[in-house]
Amino acid sequence: MNRFLSYSILLTVMFLVSACNKEEVYIRPTPEQGRLSGLFSIGEGKQVYFSQGNLRCNPKQKVYRFADEQYDVVGAGNQNISKDYDGWIDLFGWGTGRNPASYGLLYLFYDKFYEWGDSAIVNGGNVPKAWRTMTSAEWEYMLYERVHAEAYRGVHKIYLDSLDQRLAVILLPDGWKEPAGLSFTTDSSVFAVSSVTLAIPLADWRKMEKAGAVALPHCGSRIWGNSDNDHIGITSLTGYNNYGVYWTSSSGEDNRRAWSVETRDSLPELVENLRPFGYSVRLVQEK
């Protein structure tokens, strides 16, 4: 074998080894890759960043992405859920990370929690296992036990225009500092309430978001039947811009239920719900 050929083979091997090693390197997504700036305590010595918006999926294309805006919701499109649906859904049965188009009352679909964040999210770094769902205990700590917890949560509308106002749970990050020039005050006497009349002007919301505020929009739910008590029939959407429910990763007292964070006519609370219901998913990333 001549020297030139030997040298060429050596370079090829080195290139292949280098390429393989690069594929194995985990790259943490940057803030510009789907992560908001605010830090939220979810336990003693534990903080997380929230994703830029609710999780959504195109079942046919098998693609996950985050909503472009925190207040963005899919709405009626969720009623088209199926594995062949070539559109976006953002209401999921509990733990359906591997099969996001699962629906119906076969509890076999929901017997185990499969993490949505195990999949690559195209505008969230596009690498697997970069995000995760919070547990019920972590939500409880953030909502009720962290420093200034009661002052850092409220339910308000984000005012886009006179015909479009999005109701959402608004969460303020640890060590919140109100941006200068807000017309909507975040003083706890005004902010830390559940109000369907108070609206945050979009210009104010932009400043709050830049300072780390999180909005959990009221997407409603996808139910199996025609009401919360009728679980026989076709999928239907209810409660859009009226209430919001977000899944945790924690199972309930039996294999039919799981814990969720729910906001209807009050501030958010932890509630057990039936696993087949389609609820919102908001992922977080470790500090």
pLDDT at 193 over 90: no
* pLDDT tens readout for residues 32-70: 599 999 999 999 999 999 999 999 999 999 999 999 999
Q: Which of 26-35, 114-123, 256-265 has the lowest mean pLDDT?
A: 26-35
Specify whether the CB–CB gap between 233 and 222 falls below 8 A: no
CA atoms within 13 A on the CB side of 221: 25
pLDDT at 2 over 60: no
Q: Could you give the percent of the chain with pLDDT greater than 90?
A: 75
**30: pLDDT confidence band, cut at 50, 70 and 90?**
low
Closest CA to 243 of 204, 184, 194: 194
Q: Which helix (H) or strand (E) holds 259?
A: strand 257-263
**105: pLDDT confidence band, cut at 50, 70 and 90?**
confident
**12: pLDDT confidence band, cut at 50, 70 and 90?**
very low
Residue 153 — φ and ψ, nearest 5°? -140, 145
Q: Where are the domains of the chain?
A: 48-135+220-238+245-286, 149-217
Specify whether the CB–CB gap between 250 and 135 falls below 8 A: yes
Q: Which residue type sits at 76?
A: A
- Residue 21 confidence (pLDDT): 40
Closest CA to 231 of 280, 279, 276: 276
More confident residue, 258 or 106: 258
Distance CA(9)–CA(212), nearest Å, equals 52
- Residue 61 confidence (pLDDT): 97
Q: Which of 132-136, 142-146, 174-178, 226-230 has the lowest mean pLDDT?
A: 226-230
pTM as predicted: 0.86
Q: How remote is the C-alpha of 1 from its chain's centroid?
A: 59
* pLDDT tens readout for residues 154-169: 999 999 999 999 999 9
Please, what is the average pLDDT of the chain? Answer: 87
**235: pLDDT confidence band, cut at 50, 70 and 90?**
low
Distance CA(198)–CA(158), nearest Å, equals 9
pLDDT at 121 over 50: yes
User: What mean pLDDT do residues 252-275 have?
Assistant: 93
pLDDT at 209 over 70: yes
Distance CA(37)–CA(32), nearest Å, equals 9
Q: Which of 32-46, 98-112, 160-174, 221-235 has the lowest mean pLDDT?
A: 221-235
Supply 36's token pair: 């908001």
